[in-house]
Amino acid sequence: MSAIASHTTAFVMAGGGSLGAVEVGMLRELLAWGETPSFVVGASAGAINGAYFAATPTLEGVAKLEAIWRGLKRQDLFPFNLRSLLGLLTRRSHLVDSNGLRRLLERHLPYKQLQDAAIPIHIVASNMVTGEEVLLSTGPVVDAVLASAAIPGVFPPVSVNGQLLVDGGVANNTPISTAVRLGATRIIVLPTGFACARKQVPAGVIGRALHALSLLVARQLVHDAERFASAVELRIVPSLCPLECSPYDYSTAGALIERAATTTRRWLEEGGLDRAGTPMQLHPHSH
């Protein structure tokens, strides 16, 4: 069952560290159902997934993205080493370098400029000085994604067009409003959710930063869903619940993908695309 042709459908992809793996399972089932977006908007981890998906927005492309996630290790993105330790002891503005993520992007992204993607991809970042949202729709794709995923204090800011940019989640965690401004009349949100079943916060600076960011994303999504419910046809794919995995744990990517695929398939079969409203999994709760 595909979208009505008169609609301009956008996939909006949120951030959430390693929980970004769930978006791959959601993408797999949405495409198998016949959903194809007119464009994609992504922030933070959602920018990474969105940029890869926009290169080859097919089931074959999603399979390649899934293979990347299944082979991903924490050290690939957060190379905590002697230099990182020195960063803690000095006045350096960030904890780890983003070279690992840059190498990953350069190795796998088959296009150089955002405007060269197979479908339009829009990346949301934040101005480090003002906190304002910065929308990147043209220019180097790797720099745009690095900027959108640059967690303040963890990764260094990225200079783009004379602006120092950081994580898109600072200004707009789940950029529904951005998709509306870009002309979407129908929006399907792929949320990463949050670790609702955790009994304690993750250990370590990075783990705690990612955990806090995932909570912020979920809360903002609920707020924005209520704000734009009457302005656009809005559908939110249910996130995983219960979920105990830390957004800093990349070893569970395969399991998250399969759980998300199963949940999304069931939601589609039960008429999820015909129902408005925010899934209960995203509202504040615990287990």
Is residue 4 scored above 50 in pLDDT?
no
User: Mean per-residue pLDDT for 63-73?
Assistant: 97
Bond preceding residue 156 cis, omega within 30 of 0: no
Average pLDDT on 31-46 reads 96
Q: What is the mean pLDDT of residues 195-211?
A: 84
Query: Does pLDDT of 41 surpass 90?
Result: yes
pLDDT at 2 exceeding the cut of 50: no
Higher pLDDT, 83 or 8: 8
The conformational region for residue 14 under phi > 0 = left, psi -120 to 50 = alpha, else beta, is beta
pLDDT tier at 83 (50, 70, 90 boundaries)? low
Tens of pLDDT, residue by residue over 140-186, are 999 999 999 998 888 999 999 999 999 988 888 789 999 999 999 99
Min mean pLDDT across 87-91, 110-114, 149-153, 191-195 is at: 87-91
The model's confidence at residue 92, banded by pLDDT at 50, 70 and 90, is low
> Taking the model in full, what pTM does it have?
0.91
pLDDT, position 79: 75
Each residue of 211-220: pLDDT tens digit? Answer: 887 888 888 8
pLDDT at 171 (0 to 100): 85
Highest mean pLDDT of the ranges 3-12, 75-84, 235-244: 235-244
The whole-number pLDDT of residue 262 equals 98
pLDDT class of 80 with cuts at 50, 70, 90: low
Q: By the 8 A CB rule, do 9 and 184 touch?
A: yes
* Confidence class for position 3, pLDDT limits 50, 70, 90: very low
Query: What is the per-residue pLDDT for 81?
Result: 53
Mean pLDDT of 179-206: 90
pLDDT class for 104, splitting at 50, 70, 90? very high
